[in-house]
Structures are given as structure tokens and as C-alpha cells.
Amino acid sequence: MANKTQIIPNEVDIPTSMLEATSNLAENLLQSEPFLRYKAAERKLQKDSEAQQLLTDLSEMQQKIRELQYTGVISETDLKRLRALQNAEGTNDVIQEYGLAQELAITLLREVNQEISNLLGIDFASLTRRSGGCC
Amino acid sequence: MVDTTWNDLEVASKEVVMQAAKQFAEVLADTTQFHEFEQSYFDYRQDSEAQSALREFQQKQASLKALRRINAVSEEDRQELQRLQDRFYSQPSVLRNTKAQEELVALSQEIGDILSKAIGLDYGNSCNSSKTGGCCG
């Protein structure tokens, strides 16, 4: 039983068997079809400079509109530009495939969490969330 | 489209993924943190003093519900409610279960972080049914 636990940062002792089961689950998820598709879509999106530029432009435009909502008047030109960027995003195959593939990967992840939670009798995902970590 | 073609032999079927999830749950259920969480909860439920402290607190809380709504609870009642709450939370079985819960959460958060980093998706937030996408939707 020596070497049963491994000390890792953040003061929690995680048994080796737990680390192995976690790693095994992650590997299987990454080898599943939804995740292979998601990772492929992610790589394709990262390599597509046009799609990247579109996402940056859209994000900047959305930010600008948000700021104008509080501080000033939104011009018709800004709104037209926003709609044009949203349309371009909606018809961009690379971005759309990324969004869909991510959704499918998340669907599988939720099913996995359901399986784990049913066996434990407690929602595992809610135990993993760090307060203030998101949003 | 080289990216999207993969060898069928290297693809993990859903059954295989679910089997890994099942094994993961079994190992987690066998950790000292999970055992302590379950046992301390069982003991707390069996602890008549803790249950009676809980009932007294809840009864007092319920009796003040209407007054609380119009912010008309007397200082005396407020202190009594606080005393009953403190009494409940200082019960040994409650303290033990709270500590066990904190330790299980700490373990789960670490595991969740490892899992999220490995798969490139935030596990906890992706599995939050009130959200549609990843973190912050």
C-alpha cells in the first residue's frame, strides 16, 4: 500500500487509482467520435485565418454595441455591420461545424456525468465547480 | 478533409466511454473522502440530538416566516433563531458531515480540473444543464 497516494499541489491527496481512472476516462472521451470531431473542428478553426478574423470582428462589434447601449446612440451603420457579421458567422462552414461539434461533445460529456452521478447518488459536476471560477 | 477521417479501430465507442465513466465512479466511490461523506451523512441522519436541533431551528424559522416577510421580527426572536441555528451547526455529527462534504468537494474540484484540462472543455460548467454551451454560454 506504499505509494498509494500522490501529493499534488493544492493540498488534496488524490489516490493513484483515482488519477488512473480520471486519465482513462479522459483518454476514452478524447477517442470518442464526438470529441474527435470537436478536436478536428477546433484545429480547422484555428488554422482558418478568415474565420478567426470574422470571430474577432464580431466580438469587437458586439462589445462596441454593448458599450453604446449604455453611453450613446447606436447608429444604423453599426447595426448593419453587426447584422452582416452575424450573417457571415451563420453561413461560415468552419465556425458552424465548430459550434455543432462542440455541442455534440458536450452532449456526450453530460451523458457521462449522468452515468457517474447515478452511480454516486450525487451530481458529480456540481461538486467539481469552483465558485467564482466562471462568469 | 484529412482531419475528419479517423481509423475506426481507434475510435472509442459510446459503450467503451460509458464503461470508463462507470469505472471512474466506482473508484471515486471507494475513496476515503467519499466513504467519510456517506458515513458521516448516515450518522448525522441517525443522530437524534442533531435531528431535534434541526427540527427546532426549522420550526422557529417557519413560525417567523410571515414576520420576516414584512421585516418585523423582534430582536429577541432574531437572537433565538440565531441561537438555534448555531446549536444545530455545532452538533458534532453536523460538523463532521460538513467537513466531509468540504473534503469531497476539494477532491472533486481537483479531479474536475484534471479532466477539464485533458479534454479541453470545462467539465463542471459544460455539464450544467442551465447553460447551453461552455462557460458563460
pLDDT of residue B99: 96
Please state the rounded mean pLDDT for residues A35-62: 96
| Mutation to test the B interface, candidates A16, A98, A112, A126, most B Cβ within 10 Å | A112
Residues B100 and B40 in one domain: yes
Is residue B121 within 8 angstroms of chain A, CB to CB?
yes
Please check the confidence at residue A70 and state whether its pLDDT lies above 90.
no
pLDDT of residue B125: 92
Taking CA atoms, A101 is separated from A45, A124, B104, B137, in Å, by 12, 24, 32, 15
Taking CA atoms, A40 is separated from A97, B12, B88, in Å, by 10, 16, 54
Residues B86 and B58 in one domain: yes
Chain A, residues 104-133, CB within 8 A of chain B, namely 105-106, 108-113, 115-116, 119-120, 124-130
Contact A63, A55 (CB under 8 A): no
Mean pLDDT estimate for chain A: 89
Is residue A18 within 8 angstroms of chain B, CB to CB?
yes
Domain count of the fold of chain B:
2
Domain count of the fold of chain A:
1
Please check the confidence at residue A103 and state whether its pLDDT lies above 90.
yes
Considering only the beta carbons, identify the residue of A12, A28, A103 that sits closest to B20. A28
Q: Cell match 447551453: residue?
A: B132
pLDDT of residue A5: 42
Residues B38 and B100 in one domain: yes
Residues B86 and B20 in one domain: no
Residues B22 and B83 in one domain: no
Residues B20 and B76 in one domain: no
Considering only the beta carbons, identify the residue of B6, B29, B111 that sits closest to A120. B29
Residues B55 and B41 in one domain: no
CB pairs under 8 A between A and B: 158
Residues B40 and B56 in one domain: no
Residues B59 and B42 in one domain: no
Please check the confidence at residue A10 and state whether its pLDDT lies above 80.
no
The Cα of B77 is separated from the nearest Cα of chain A by a number of Å equal to 33
Q: Is residue A54 part of a domain?
A: yes
Residues B100 and B39 in one domain: yes
Q: How far is Cα A42 from Cα B127, in angstroms, rounded to an integer?
A: 20
Q: Is residue B8 part of a domain?
A: no
Q: Which residue has the higher pLDDT, A104 or A6?
A: A104
Closest to B109 (Cα-Cα) out of A7, A30, A72, A130: A130
pLDDT of residue B2: 45
Query: What digits encode the pLDDT tens for the residues A22-38?
Result: 999 999 999 999 999 99
| Helices vs strands, H then E, count in chain A | 6, 2
Residues of the domain holding A57: 47-116
Residues B23 and B86 in one domain: no
pLDDT of residue A13: 82
Q: Is residue A10 part of a domain?
A: no
Contact: A120, B31; criterion CB under 8 Å = no
Please state the rounded mean pLDDT for residues A74-88: 93
Residues B77 and B59 in one domain: yes
What ipTM was predicted for this assembly? 0.80
| Mutation to test the A interface, candidates B19, B111, B135, B136, most A Cβ within 10 Å | B111
Q: Is residue B6 part of a domain?
A: no
Tens of pLDDT, residue by residue, chain B (137 residues): 444 566 666 899 999 999 999 999 999 999 999 999 999 999 999 999 999 999 999 999 999 999 989 989 999 999 999 999 999 999 999 999 999 999 999 999 999 999 999 999 999 999 986 544 444 33
Q: Is residue A91 part of a domain?
A: yes
Q: How far is Cα A64 from Cα A82, in angstroms, rounded to an integer?
A: 10
Contact: A125, B16; criterion CB under 8 Å = no
Q: Is residue B133 part of a domain?
A: no
Write the DSSP string, chain B. Answer: -GGG---GGGSBPHHHHHHHHHHHHHHHHTSHHHHHHHHHHHHHHH-HHHHHHHHHHHHHHHHTHHHHHTT---HHHHHHHHHHHHHHHTSHHHHHHHHHHHHHHHHHHHHHHHHHHHHTS-HHHHT-TT-SSSTT-
pLDDT of residue A6: 44
Residues of the domain holding B73: 49-90
Is residue B127 within 8 angstroms of chain A, CB to CB?
yes
